[in-house]
Amino acid sequence: AQSVTQLGSHVSVSEGALVLLRCNYSSSVPPYLFWYVQYPNQGLQLLLKYTTGATLVKGINGFEAEFKKSETSFHLTKPSAHMSDAAEYFCAAMEYGNKLVFGAGTILRVKS
Amino acid sequence: NAGVTQTPKFQVLKTGQSMTLQCAQDMNHEYMSWYRQDPGMGLRLIHYSVGAGITDQGEVPNGYNVSRSTTEDFPLRLLSAAPSQTSVYFCASSYSSHSPYEQYFGPGTRLTVT
């Protein structure tokens, strides 16, 4: 079965600094990959997804992620952090039948 | 469109009580699912449905029942609540189960079992 690993349960960056959140998946067959964001006491919102085609995927709020098959990775980046980016971020892989397998999540803190 | 709605937002149960968490979507989505979120564990799939009348188990189905009598509704039943079921529960829906369509999540139900 697929598993998703997010390195770092907490990441802290200064406002304006690069954001890098790491995600690795386990399958030898590249799955569909997603990043979701969860603001406090809210549901999950899709940031971006990789299905097929271009390996650099752009999402909402200036985030992007690069699918690297050789590294089984799908890291999320943003060039310049904003205070409003503080939230919990989840990487997920989609198995057959639209079932999502989530990583444990990374809480992003942005310091002023 | 209201999207995916869940009721109640908060619930406290005593061990052994039963209850139903409600989930509805108004997007005519074929696929619906229930997840539970626990600290440090991400979200885990409880049950899912690929259409009215069709349900199946996910990763952590024990202690939960579901049914799907209409396209819009997908209630989750706790038969006899246990403290281990204290969690935040999210319902999600997507257009179809046949392609990687985006899943839309509800706002969640925070359940405490004492």
For residue range A49-106, what is the model confidence (pLDDT) as tens digits?
998 888 999 999 999 999 999 999 999 999 999 999 999 999 999 877 788 999 999 9
Interface of A with B in 9-38 (CB under 8 A): 9, 32, 36
Q: Does A104 touch chain B (CB under 8 A)?
A: yes
Distance from C-alpha of B46 to C-alpha of B56, rounded to nearest angstrom: 9
A15-19, B52-56, B83-87, B93-97, range with the lowest pLDDT: B93-97
Are the CB atoms for B96 and B30 separated by under 8 Å?
Answer: yes
Distance from C-alpha of A99 to C-alpha of B94, rounded to nearest angstrom: 11
Distance from C-alpha of A54 to C-alpha of A74, rounded to nearest angstrom: 13
Mean pLDDT of the region B77-104 = 91
Binary contact (B40, A105; C-beta < 8 A):
yes
Predicted local distance difference test score (pLDDT) of residue B2: 82
Q: Who among A41, A43, A105 is closest to B106 (CB)?
A: A43
Predicted local distance difference test score (pLDDT) of residue A105: 96
Contacts of A48 (CB under 8 A, 6+ apart): A34, A35, A57, A58, A59, A60, A63, A64, A65, A76
